[in-house]
Amino acid sequence: MTALQLTEKFGFEPLAMPAPDHPVNGCYIGDLLSWVMGRAQADNAWITIMSNINIAAVAALADTGIVILAENVTPDASVIQTAQAKGINLVRTPLTAYETAVKISQDI
């Protein structure tokens, strides 16, 4: 499934979608950046409540397919701009990380 298909199917709020065709396979949940960096696999959906600017760099370096901000956390405008510039798909949902993972689990 692509990042855009996942976003549309589950009604995530797209904040930045510069790479809509990026494949999404598997999922990683975490807020500690080094942990995500070392453990998330390429093309994973990364679910987090961390919303500061550094998530864009971590997502870019770890090659995640999409970053899903859980519980409607609001990122700074600079995060959205940076995500757009770095080719990071960034979406938001009111669901918790657990609920999000359960929901998308059949499709990734």
Partner 1 sequence: MSEFLNFHFEVDGDNFVSAGQASVQMKKNMRQLGLAPEIIRQVSIAMYEGEINMVIHAHGGVADVNVYEDRIEMILADKGPGIKDIDLAMQEGYSTANEQVRALGFGAGMGLPNMKRYTDEMKIETVVGEGTTITMYVNLK
Interface residues with partner 1 (CB under 8 A)?
31-35, 37-38, 42, 50, 52-55, 57-58, 60-63, 78, 86
Q: Which is nearer to partner 1, 53 or 102 (CB)?
A: 53
Positive or negative torsion for Cα 56, 73, 11, 103: positive
10: Cβ contacts below 8 Å, ≥ 6 apart: 93, 103, 104
| Residue 34 main-chain phi, psi, to 5 deg | -65, -35
Query: Nearest approach, Cβ of 89 to partner 1 (angstroms)?
Result: 16
Of the pair 7, 27, the CB lying nearest partner 1 is at 27
Min dist CB 8 to partner 1, Å, is 27
SS3 91: strand
Q: Which is nearer to partner 1, 60 or 108 (CB)?
A: 60
